[in-house]
Amino acid sequence: MSHDPIAVSMDALAQTLGDIAALKKEARWREIETAIGRSLRRFVSVSPKEFARLTETGMLAELAKHGPTIWVPYKRIMVIALLKEAGDCAATKRPGGGYGWYLKALHLLLDALARDELWKYSRLVPEVESLVACLEGSSLPVRTRVLLMREYERQGQFGKVRCEFVAAIEKSPKNRKLLDFGTAFFERLGRESDATLVAAGLPRCEVNAVLLELAAAKSGLRIR
């Protein structure tokens, strides 16, 4: 039996998530809400109402407030997992009810992945694609698209990078900062070999096409 307090807490989270999964099979949503609330108080020392009001920045500040800083990455894992479960509960009450929960979970997950903070506990958090699927049909903020671009670049899925950037530009076509960001981003991808680009789903001709479109878009802004 482990005496490491971090390992003990993560094992407790795994048990909680297993219990919630079992309750889901029987659609016992009220009991699931109770389990989530109990876990929030135990793992991150906040009530469900307080948790719901927190922004992502507020959540991270709350995590750092209690206990040694070494706990913060592990608490982040706990929060991501519980946000997903809270989103599932909210989604049963009304269409789109889980949007805010899922979006916060996705942002925190993408940040944790960028920081390489999941370590051996990645099994306790939802996968990126799982959260993206939960948000399907919703209008995602430009910030979310940019975070997804960076994650897909890290995964070597350049085709998905382009899809996210196209969606971001469609939402904010005259955003000069976004156009400049995209230019720098795809210029960096263009420094990869032809073989790497093809394997990643974005042949060089498509990289060049994106850069030409961006140059035209920025030129149009200057003319205006």
Q: What is the model's pLDDT at position 138? A: 85
Cα pseudo-dihedral 47, 49, 52, 56, rounded to 10: -50
Q: Give pTM, 2 decimals.
A: 0.90
CA atoms within 13 A on the CB side of 196: 10
CB atoms within 10 A of CB 193: 9
Residue with tokens 């009220």: 30
Dihedral of CA 185/147/214/189: which sign? Answer: positive
Residue with tokens 């990078």: 161
φ, ψ of residue 139 in degrees (nearest 5): -85, 110
Q: Are 76 and 104 in contact (CB under 8 A)?
A: no
Please report, in tens digits, the pLDDT of each residue of the chain (224 residues total).
557 888 998 999 999 999 999 999 999 999 999 999 888 888 777 777 788 788 888 888 877 777 778 888 998 999 999 999 999 999 998 888 999 999 999 999 999 999 998 888 999 999 999 999 999 988 899 999 999 999 999 999 999 999 999 999 999 998 999 999 999 999 999 999 999 999 999 999 999 999 999 999 988 775 43
